Amino acid sequence: MAFPSTAARNLIGIAALLLTSLPAMAQSNAQADAHKFDPVAAFAPFDMHQAVNVYRSSNGLPGPEYWQNRADYQIHASLNADAKVPSLKGSEVITYTNKSPDKLAELWLQLDQNRYRAGSRGAYAAGKPQGGTTDGYVLDSVEIEQGGSFVPAKTLVSDTRLRVTLPSLLAAKGGQIKLRISWHFDIPGAWGGRMAWGMAKDGPVYNLAQWYPRMAVYDDIRGWDTLPYLAQEFYLEYGNFDYYVTAPSDMIIAGSGALMNPQDVLTATQRKRLAEAHDSNATVFIIKRSEIGKASSRPKQGGTLTWHFHMNDTRDVAFAASKTFAWDAARINLPDGKSALAQSVYPAESAGDAAWGRSTQYLKDSVENFSRRWFTYPWPNAINVAGIASGMEYPGIVFDGINDRGKALFWITAHEIGHSWFPMIVGFDERRNAWMDEGFNTFIDTYESDDFNHGEYGPKRDSEYAPGGGNPVDEILPVIEDPNAPVLLTRADSIIEKYRHPVTYFKSALGLRLLREEILGPDRFDPAFRRFIAAWAFKHPQPADFFRAMDSGAGEDLSWWWRGWYANNWTLDLGVDAITPVDGHRAKGTAITVGSYDKLVMPATLRVNFADGTHEDMSLPVESWIRNRDTKVFVPAGSTVLSAEVDPDHKLPDRDRSNNLLVATAS
């Protein structure tokens, strides 16, 4: 999730970090001679804080008895767009399957709309005045199926949670129950954030998310995971969704999943154009800008139409509705001859090749790239919506800004649809571990920025990653040297806005870039990372599962990396200490001493420059410092060493580069 409208604020936040960190940086430099590096601490075993068992294996993959509960939904909703305060009402039947080894006495659901109530926990956690309030969910009825009919359930609402007490225990290992819930709520205005409604030039746009009561997760880590919704995103069960949205007939609805009844809601011309788009690598208009709002663009005048969508193997669905939408689409080419459809809907003012006219191509390329590199996109559609709730992701559909254009539109499109992989396919717990979904996604975005149209928008340098436009390993330094900056293994709700992008996005993504490019190399990183994604697709991995999967899959004990970069904000300082004859005799060769001055340690390149104009690059493994603060590299006799430099290509986050290069003294 990203908010491009706050990009300037994020840049200011980074600038503030740079300024406020200067004293800390000066202090760190003054203490450089203190040699803070401790091999015993750096290379100690890393406590994963999660036991290995039959559910989660030592190799970081699901264990032989891994289980996961399931929630399947059938939802009917109606959008009331005529009232002064628009509203949504609906009813749903949830088929909940308990695959756990535990009998369940109650069920817990998430009522995210209650975040907008006055006095909600999220309102107090925000630490600022609410932009507006609603009554949240009004639950008209909550029923449980018993004996083939639905009967009223005993319930308790606690902030954004709903507890349903069961009349009898729900059986373990396959017990199933159905809930039927009817509800309605007023839709928040533009202040709603991740879901809202507001005005485009020609009419309102509705971004509908968190729009139905959703099952909380019951897992093998905590049982019922009932963290309240404080606006730090989601943790959800997987299942199949069948949903129907009734809206005024002049509206276009874009929704997660496949549109099941195009014959009811589209004209013959639009259906023909959609078919063409399925076979076209070029963008095809379904509704042209000139056709927006015209009677001929709708199959029915007046009244309402009901749009039917279906989506399998998903943890959520969302939709957008407006009478102001232009609509275009193109084929997504997936591995093994598969395909999907990239689609964009946007108001007239967003059109044009400098803006949303390229959205579908950005979307198409991103999905193809992520599928080729990491894991094949599993759903029939990928949709980009220009609307009010800008910079937010849901399975198969993302909400971006009406005014986004150029590189900003490309970067946010790639980022938001990249969330299809993290956390929509790989079901991370965003409320606890935002660094996993945001950081992992930003990581894969960096390669898409490099790849798209021969680097048209590369490298990625935005509010999410190296916002100053410079070398990421330099820009991260004021973040990790800030004594107030949280570590990556911090609960998402605890990270204030000042650090949200610098830590959760930037530091996490850079950690993966360093792991791939400088520590493991792509040949070891990529297979391990792909195996982790495939094994945990549509499941719920925890941080320890990722750490173990990379250790085992890449064949490397990375305890020192997980501790230094993830559990702490440790900094790196390598330097060339000395260039001397071996045992004082030039005839025996030259010894080059490379020291580690700070708590973080990393493998590094040492470049040795010779008098004949040549040089040799030596790869120093991390174990070079496993016993001592410094290590010696020996150059055989016969070559005259002029200088030596550690990290000559400036690839490591070395906090003090003044000691990286040493020129040999004349003998």
Number of Cβ within 10 Å of residue 470's Cβ equals 10
Burial class (CB in 10 A: 0-12, 13-18, 19+), 457: buried
Q: What is the pLDDT of residue 32?
A: 40
pLDDT by residue (tens digit) across 170-208?
999 999 999 999 999 999 999 999 999 999 999 999 999
Residue 506 near residue 53, CB atoms below 8 Å:
no
* CA proximity to 86, closest of 265, 253, 321, 255: 321
What is d(CA 505, CA 498) in angstroms, rounded to the nearest whole number?
12
Rounded average pLDDT over 348-375? 98
SS3 94: strand
Cα four-point dihedral sign 112, 117, 123, 125: negative
Section 437-446 average pLDDT: 98
Instruction: Report, as an integer, the average pLDDT of 400-407.
Output: 97
Structure tokens at 372: 């080729």
Helix (H) or strand (E) holding 610: strand 604-610
Helix or strand (DSSP H, E) at 455: none
pLDDT band (50, 70, 90) for residue 589? very high
Position 18 scores a pLDDT of 39
CA-to-CA distance for 586 and 583, rounded, in angstroms? 8
Residue bearing tokens 């790869």 = 619
Contact 438, 475 (CB under 8 A): no
Residues near 330 by Cβ (< 8 Å), separated by ≥ 6?
A: 277, 280, 281, 282, 283, 284, 341, 342, 360, 361, 364
Query: For 95-105, what is each residue's pLDDT tens digit?
Result: 999 999 999 99
Q: Between these two residues, 169 and 231, which has the higher pLDDT value?
A: 169
- Give mean pLDDT, residues 521-549: 98
User: What are the tokens at 637?
Assistant: 């006799």
User: Is the pLDDT assigned to residue 550 strictly greater than 80?
Assistant: yes
One-letter amino acid identity for 358? R
Residue whose C-alpha is closest to residue 390's, from 406, 366, 368, 413: 413
CA dist., res. 643 & res. 576, Å (int): 10
Q: Each residue of 257-304: pLDDT tens digit? A: 999 999 999 999 999 999 999 999 999 999 999 999 999 999 999 999
Decide: 575 and 581 in contact? Cβ < 8 Å. Answer: no
Per the CB < 8 A criterion, the answer to whether 515 and 603 are in contact is no
Question: For residue 83, what pLDDT is reported?
Answer: 84
For residue 19, pLDDT over 80 is answered with no
Q: How far apart are CA 615 and CA 160, in angstroms?
A: 63
Contact 571, 600 (CB under 8 A): yes
Q: Are 442 and 505 in contact (CB under 8 A)?
A: yes
pLDDT at 82: 87
- Judge whether residue 24 has pLDDT over 70: no
Q: What is the CA radius of gyration of the chain?
A: 27
In this structure, are residues 139 and 157 in contact, taking their beta carbons and an 8 Å threshold? yes
Which residues on neighbouring strands pair with residue 572, listed in sequence order?
Answer: 600, 654
Q: In this predicted structure, what is the pLDDT of residue 542?
A: 98
pLDDT value for 667: 60
pLDDT at 352 over 80: yes
**pTM of the full predicted structure?**
0.94
- Residues 398, 271, 406, 320, CA torsion sign: negative
Separation of alpha carbons 6 and 462, rounded Å: 11
Say if residues 402 and 350 touch (Cβ distance below 8 Å): yes
Decide if pLDDT at 1 tops 80.
no
pLDDT above 70 coverage of the chain, percent: 95
Give the mean model confidence (pLDDT) for residues 574-593: 96
Question: Does the N-terminal peptide bond of residue 204 adopt cis geometry, omega within 30 degrees of 0?
Answer: no
Order across the sheet with 397-401: list the strands. 284-287, 326-333, 339-346, 381-387, 397-401, 392-394
Residue 294 CB neighbours (<10 A): 11
Q: Give all strands of the β-sheet with 203-208 in edge-to-edge order.
A: 196-200, 203-208, 319-322, 252-255
d(CA 549, CA 520): 14
pLDDT for res 198: 97
Sign, CA dihedral 312-318-323-325, equals negative
- Contact between 629 and 596 under an 8 Å Cβ cutoff? The reply is yes
Please compute the mean of the pLDDT values over residues 505-513 and round it to a whole number: 98
| SS3 per-residue string spanning 42-83 | HCCCCCCCCCCCCCECCCCCECCCCCCCEEEEEEEEEEECCC
Write down the mean pLDDT value for the chain.
94
DSSP secondary structure string, 569-593? ---B-EEEEEEEEGGG-GGG-EEEE
Average pLDDT over residues 46-55: 96
- 340 vs 330: CA distance, rounded Å: 9
Give pLDDT tens digits for 92-149: 999 999 999 999 999 999 999 999 999 999 999 998 999 999 999 999 999 999 999 9
